[in-house]
């Protein structure tokens, strides 16, 4: 996804699938579209910058040191409304679900997030459903 870079700090296979820890950088004025996850719960911890989150009906503007819980099955989105990149640590439970993030942060690969093929890949392989497309 353009503007989203993900690093695997502790991949799920290193924990037997129990959990995974990722760190992502989201570029200025970028939004990750609203979506749900079938398989995993997520916990975000803001490392740098100011990040907007909407989880269900709750909107939070999170600054460094803030945790945001994103339970499975609950629609969520997040964005960087500033002119500077933001950094967030993401904990995924179970960690086996983290592999889905490799498909959206591949250097040189800019997926067409509006294509039926890309959306179907997210659903089939990773249990992610984009909302409102």
pLDDT of residue 41: 95
Which stretches does DSSP call E strand in 12-127?
A: 20-26, 30-37, 41-48, 51-55, 58-62, 67-70, 76-80, 86-93
Domain boundary assignment for the chain = 4-130
How many CB atoms are located within 10 Å of the residue 82 CB?
15
pLDDT of residue 106: 47
pLDDT of residue 35: 85
- How far apart CA 113 and CA 103 sit, in angstroms, is 12
pLDDT of residue 118: 53
pLDDT of residue 128: 58
How many CB atoms are located within 10 Å of the residue 40 CB?
23
Chosen CATH of 4-130 out of 1.10.357.10, 3.40.50.300, 2.60.120.10, 3.40.640.10: 2.60.120.10
pLDDT of residue 19: 95
Q: What is the pLDDT along the chain (133 residues), one digit of tens a residue?
A: 457 788 889 999 999 999 999 999 999 998 888 888 888 899 999 999 999 999 999 999 999 999 999 999 999 999 999 999 999 999 999 987 666 666 555 444 444 454 556 555 655 655 556 566 5
- How far apart CA 42 and CA 72 sit, in angstroms, is 7
């Amino acid at each position: 996804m353009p503007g989203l870079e993900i690093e695997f700090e502790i991949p799920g296979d290193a924990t037997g699938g129990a959990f995974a820890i990722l760190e992502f950088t989201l570029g200025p004025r970028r939004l990750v579209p609203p979506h749900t996850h079938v398989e995993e719960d997520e916990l975000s911890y803001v490392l740098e910058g100011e990040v907007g989150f909407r989880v269900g009906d709750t909107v939070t503007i999170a600054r460094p040191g803030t945790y945001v819980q994103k339970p499975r099955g609950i629609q969520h989105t997040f964005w960087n409304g500033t002119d500077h990149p933001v950094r967030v640590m993401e904990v995924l439970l179970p960690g086996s679900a983290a592999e889905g993030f490799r498909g959206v942060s591949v250097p040189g690969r800019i997926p067409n997030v509006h294509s039926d093929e890309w959306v179907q890949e997210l659903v089939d392989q990773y249990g992610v459903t984009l909302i409102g497309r």
